[in-house]
Structure formats: structure tokens, C-alpha cells
Amino acid sequence: MSKLSFFLGCIAPNRYPGIEAATIKTLEKLGIELVDLKGASCCPAPGVFRSFDKITWLALASRNVTLSEEMGLDILTVCNGCFGSLVDANNIMKEDPALKEEVNKILKEIGHEFKGTIEVRHIIEYLSQEVGAEKIKAAVTIPMDLNVALHYGCHLVKPSKERHLGSTENPTFFDELVEATGATSVDYEDKMACCGAGGGARTAVLDTSLQMVVNKLDHMKAAGVDCIIDACPFCHLQFDVGQTEVKKKFNKVYDIPVVHYSQLLGLAMGLPLSELGIDQNLIVNEEFNKKIERIRGGANE
Amino acid sequence: MSDIIKTSDFDMEFRDEVFKEPDADKITLCFNCTGCTSGCPMAEQEPEYNIRKFLRMANLGMKDALLNSPYLWYCTTCYKCQERCPQGVKNVDTLLKIRTIAIQNGIMLDNHRKVSQLVIKLGHAVPINDDAKEKRKDVGLDDTPPTVHKFEDALGEVQKLLKITGFDKLVADEEEKS
């Protein structure tokens, strides 16, 4: 059994806990044990805190990394933002001796030391590289015959110099994992476009940030999908909460359900709906729920 | 172009400060191909947000115009421009450095200040609330996640760290600073 520490971040545990629960249970079925990363904090968010003060960002992210170093485990994240911060910080600390020394002086005062002994992983690239679509397909008990709009998000694949996951314009590794659950990843216009939430933009300029999600939702709707599949709780929030906001602000109605990949995997592995938290979203689409029920039959409780 | 740029507005110390970010000096290699802005999803929504113009302004040392532009805060850090630049300009990383200088000069949006203060107080930019606690129980999880929310010592470490780096003062409300 593989073992990693589970870095929760902020939005998964504190807004969409279904993502946290689904991740723990589905990975267990794939022979991956997730251990609590006790006392972890905000990653902290890359575009925001890194731009406010780089040393603060680097020190706080490095503290999170040292917690896992102390357990001798690689870190698993389920969020593109956390992945971006922790991977970038981990790389900088490993490659820049001067910054490492400066940050370690700070960490020493709170009883930690960055050593550079572990790696930071994201659930999607981890499953793609270490488990593989074939093994996931074999673990699926109910193929989820859904047409989905897949959203990679930005920081999973970019900057590519730090990620090494191939093309950032036309990647396919996430599509392969989605199709392993029996779903069809439907092509849609500008698929790799940003959801609009990152870099502090959602906090700073909400209306303009929402115009970006409107663009994405328009393209997804035109492709006629059953739901969105994402790999990041912040994109998830932008799509879910964002749909309620664009309804109020711009009178735009979509009602497209938003599902994190871990939750899709949970559906396909026959986990009880009550443990996946998809119904805790703000956007609840009865037609989608009925379709899930039809596909899953008795597994829906 | 009707805007007149005066050389007396150039601040080369500002440019030097920006260039402290690794590879930020690659701005000088920009030959205006517009690959960055033509692919920018934010520019599609807000044409005033023009990362190429911002970086070229930084290269000229146009400190005041740049730091006081409201559009400095529009980038979502999607990195599309940085990926596409044929000259290897570090568009996003350099823009973030310009933001850092703005913050050091006391230019910070209220909402960003609030989010920063949440991290200082609770260790999370998006902290737990009662609704989330109920949702956690409903999916079979403990109502409090095993993060700084559960471990007071760990929150203490985070708060101490943020004091050592001076982040608490950096993002304090203006009246508290004085």
C-alpha cells in the first residue's frame, strides 16, 4: 500500500468536504493510504500571498512541507492552488541555497527545518503517473455513462517548466482518467481557459472574474454536457458559487452540476452518495441526480 | 497613441528592484509580438488589463503609473502568457514582483488585506464555519479538519512565523500601523 500525507488546504475541508471524504475513500480502494498532515495551514495561495511578500509565502509553504518531511511522506494535494504553492516552494527551497538558509532561520524559531527530502503531488498527476488509467478502470464497478466538461485548471499544468506534464495547450492525461470511469470527456471551445478565480482576481475584481467563468459556462453549455469535472476546490467554488452569482448579477442561468474528480471516482466505485457531498453544492440539478440514480441503481442507497 | 511618456517620470531604482526577481530582466527581450496579450483571458474581458504594456512600463521605470493602476490586480496567474512567450519573459512572476513593490508602498486592496488578516488570525484564507462543520459531519468526517483549526500549537507556530517575517505589520489596517 502506498502512503502519502493529505494536505487539505482551505476550500476542500472548509467549504466542500465531500472532496476530502471522496478522496480518502476512493484512494483507499486503489491501495493508497492518506495520513492526516496534522497542523497544516493555508498553502498559502500562490498568486495572492506570494505577490504580497515572497519570503512569507515561501516560509509558510515550507512549514507545510516540513510537516510531511518529518513523517517521511510525500504530500498529496487535491487543489491546483495548493499544488502550485507547495511544488514551487519545494523547488525553490531545493534549488536556492540562499533562500533556503533565510527561510530555515525563520523555521528554526518554530521548531522546523526544511531538508528537501520529499515531493509534492496532485491527485490527478499522481493517479496518472503512479496508478494509471487501466488500474482505475479495473476498480470501477459502475461505469458512469456521462458526458462531462473537463476543466484542468491552470496550476496543475503551468508553469510547465516546474510541472513536467507535457503540453499545456492540449494535455490528455486528465481526460484519460475521466474516461476510465466510463464518462466521455466532451471537447468544448477554449477548454484550457482559466476559470477566472486565481491570482486574487476573484477577491479583487469579482464581476470581471465572473465574466471569465461565464465564458467557460457558455462553452460548456454549448457542448451539451451533464456536468463539469474539475481537479481544484477553488475552480469548483468559482463554477458552483459563481453560477449563483452570475444568475443574480447577469441573469444568466446554467444549472450545470460541478463535480471534483474524486467525487466522480466515488460515483464510479459505487460509494454511497451521502459520503460524496455532491448534493452539498449550491447548484443542484434534479435531472442530473436522476441520471446518476438511473446509472447507479441500488448503489444510490 | 496619445499618451506622452516623460523621461522625468522614469525611476530606474524601481526597475532595478523589479529585476531582483529571478529572470525579470528578460523583459528587455520583448519585441512586441503580442503573443502574451492576444491569448490573455483577462484581456478578453478587460482590454485595459495589458500585461505586455505593464512589463514594458516596468522596464522604463514607470513606477507611479504602474503601482497606482487598478488593473495591476486583474491577473489570475493562469500563466498562459508566460508559457507562450517566445523570448522566455517571466510575465507572471514579474507582475507578481511589481505587486510586491506596490504592497511595500502601502498600496493594497481592502479585500486582499482582509484575506491576509484571516490567515494571521486563523491560519486559513478560507476558514471553517458552522455550515461547513455540519457538511463535514454529513459526509462522515470529523467536524473540525486536522489542520491548524484543530491544533492550537500549530496555529501558534503559524502566527509566530507571520510575526517574524513582518507579515502582520505589512497587512495591518492603516490606522493600526500608525
Task: For chain A, list the domains and their CATH numbers.
Answer: 2-122 (1.20.1050.140), 133-300 (3.40.50.11810)
Q: How far apart are CA A150 and CA B164, in angstroms?
A: 42
Q: Write down the pLDDT at residue A1.
A: 77
C-alpha distance from B96 to closest chain A C-alpha (Å):
5
Q: Which parts of chain A have pLDDT scores under 50?
A: none
| Contact across the interface for B147 and A41, Cβ inside 8 Å | yes
- B111, B86 contact by CB (below 8 A): no
Is A101 buried (19+), middle (13-18) or exposed (0-12) by CB count in 10 A? exposed
Q: Do B135 and A47 touch (CB under 8 A)?
A: no
B54 touches chain A (CB under 8 A): no
- Residues in chain B with CB shorter than 8 Å from the CB of A51 are 95-97, 99-100, 103
Bridge partners (DSSP) listed for residue A121: A76
The pLDDT value given to residue A227: 98
CA distance A197 to A79: 13
What ipTM does this complex have?
0.96
If you compute the radius of gyration of chain B from its CA atoms, what whole number of angstroms results? 20
> Global pTM?
0.97
Asked if B170 reaches chain A (Cβ–Cβ under 8 Å), the answer is yes
Name chain A contacts of B139, Cβ cutoff 8 Å: 17-18, 20-21, 274-277, 280
Cell (9 digits) for A42: 493555508
Query: Looking at beta carbons, which residues of chain B come within 8 Å of A36?
Result: 146
Check CB contact under 8 Å for A199 and B153. Answer: no
A172 has a chain B CB within 8 A of its CB:
no
Interchain pair B82, A48: CB under 8 A: no
Question: Contact at 8 Å (CB) between B173 and B113?
Answer: yes
Residues of chain A with C-beta less than 8 angstroms from the C-beta of B169: none
For the domain B7-104, what is the CATH superfamily, name and number?
Answer: Alpha-helical ferredoxin (1.10.1060.10)
On the question of pLDDT at B4 being above 90, the answer is no
DSSP B96-141: HHHHHHHHHTT---HHHHHHHHHHHHHS-SS---HHHHHHHHHTT-
Domain spans of chain B, in order of start: 7-104, 110-177
Q: How confident is the model at residue B3 (pLDDT cuts 50, 70, 90)?
A: confident
* pLDDT recorded at residue A61: 98
Q: Quick check: helix, strand or coil at residue A6?
A: strand
Q: What is the pLDDT of residue B5?
A: 86
B112-166 pLDDT, tens per residue?
999 999 999 999 999 999 999 999 999 999 999 999 999 999 999 999 999 999 9
Measured in angstroms, the CA of B6 and the nearest CA of chain A are apart by 28
Helix residue ranges, H only, chain A = 11-14, 17-29, 46-52, 54-69, 80-95, 97-108, 123-126, 133-139, 160-163, 173-179, 201-204, 206-222, 233-250, 261-268, 286-296
Query: Mean pLDDT for chain A?
Result: 96
Q: Which of A14, A50, A169 sits opposite B124 (nearest CB)?
A: A14
Grid cell at residue B111: 479585500
Cis amide bond preceding A143, omega within 30: no
Q: Residue B96 is nearest to which of A11, A50, A197, comparing CB atoms?
A: A50
Residue A37's pLDDT is 98
Distance from CA of A201 to the nearest CA of B (A): 5
In this complex, is the C-beta atom of A187 within 8 Å of any C-beta atom belonging to chain B?
A: no
CB A43, CB A286: distance < 8 Å:
no
Q: B32 touching A, CB under 8 A? A: no
* Residue B178 banded pLDDT, cuts 50, 70, 90: low
Using CA atoms, how far apart are residues A171 and A292, in angstroms rounded to an integer?
28
Gyration radius of chain A over CA positions: 19
A10–B124 C-beta distance less than 8 A:
yes
